[in-house]
Amino acid sequence: MPSLPAPFSFTSPPTNLSVSPLFTARSIDGILFSVFSSLGVPVLDRFCGPKWPIASFPRVWRSEGLLPLIPWQTMDLSPGTEEYIKESIEISLGLPVSVESLSLKLLASEDARRRLQDQIFDLEDRIKESSKRLEQSRAESKMNAQGVRRCVEEKEVIASQYADLVNHCRNLEEECSLYERDLERIMESCDELAKENEELRAQLQDISSLESLAAEAESLKKDKEHLRINLHRAEEEVKVFFEENKILDEENKKLLELLRKERRRQGSNSHPGSATPAKKKERRKGRWKKKRMKVEDRKEG
């Protein structure tokens, strides 16, 4: 059964209750309607349609003609609901409420207050946890935002570098195209140079033949010069030999005269003077060698 709302008031009613004559059966009908409506019980109205409970009960009025006596046994209600209806009617009519009901209501309110306090504590804990989660989520969001910023900055840097690389690539492509054109021109010039080289080789062959002839002529000139020098030396040697021959002729003449003289002497002194001509010949040979050496020294000088 759902928890019932608290009565309208917990103030103790007066001992001598006097009911106003204006409080009629119509006002009681309104009170019952509000009570049964709060409980969710369908009602039927005597005057204007459905208002009283469908399980209607006979009304037995007191002698004052004000408060009905409702036979609760005819309704399918729990004891707590019946007690709540009874207390609500009594409080609305200003009748005194028992201490037991007030204590029960107080205990129920204390229990409800404790439950509410527990719920408040639970909610506070949840709020703290949610605040912690919120702070964590904020910190994570800040970190994520920083990471996103860094990623964006890195992306911008990479994009700028990519743009620079694209521009550099274009420049390199242009330079490569220029290099290709230059290479084609160089190849053409190389072909022309190859033709010129062949022509120059042919000319060089002719020039080499001329150079060989010039070298031969130069060598002949050198040989001529050497021959001239040798001829000059030979002439000098001939002159030297001529002079030496003159000297030798004179010496030969002298030797012949000496030989004659020796022969003459041999006639007179055959034995003692036999060794002197040999000595004279040796002396002549030594002189001849010395003269020969002098001539050779002159040639070398």
Q: Which residue has the higher pLDDT, 74 or 176?
A: 176
Average pLDDT, the chain: 72
Q: What is the reported pLDDT for 6?
A: 41
24 occurs within a structural domain? yes
pLDDT, tens digit (0-9, with 9 covering 90-100), for 28-70? 555 555 655 555 555 444 433 444 443 333 333 333 343 444 4
Domain boundary pick from 97, 120, 155: 97
Q: How far apart are CA 301 and CA 295, in angstroms?
A: 10
Structure confidence at residue 241 as a pLDDT band (50, 70, 90): confident
Record the tokens describing residue 186, joined without a space: 């160089």
Number of domains making up the chain: 2
254 occurs within a structural domain? yes
245 occurs within a structural domain? yes
Mean pLDDT to the nearest integer, 90-100: 71
Q: What is the reported pLDDT for 122?
A: 92
* β-pair partners for 43: 53
156 occurs within a structural domain? no
Domain boundary pick from 49, 70, 97: 97
Mean pLDDT to the nearest integer, 77-87: 70
Q: What is the reported pLDDT for 115?
A: 92
282 occurs within a structural domain? yes
Q: How far apart are CA 172 and CA 166, in angstroms?
A: 10
Question: Does the structure show a pLDDT above 50 at 280?
Answer: yes
Q: Rounded to the nearest 5°, which phi and psi values hold at 56? A: -65, 155
137 occurs within a structural domain? no
Question: Does the structure show a pLDDT above 90 at 224?
Answer: no
Residue 94 CB partners (closer than 8 Å, separation 6+): 13, 14, 17
Q: Tell me the C-alpha to C-alpha distance, in Å, between residue 5 and each of 75, 101, 105.
A: 20, 13, 10
pTM: 0.29
Domain boundary pick from 97, 115, 147: 97
222 occurs within a structural domain? no
Rounded to a whole number of angstroms, the CA Rg of the chain reads 82
| Domain hosting residue 240, numbered range | 233-300
CB 164 within 8 A of CB 172: no
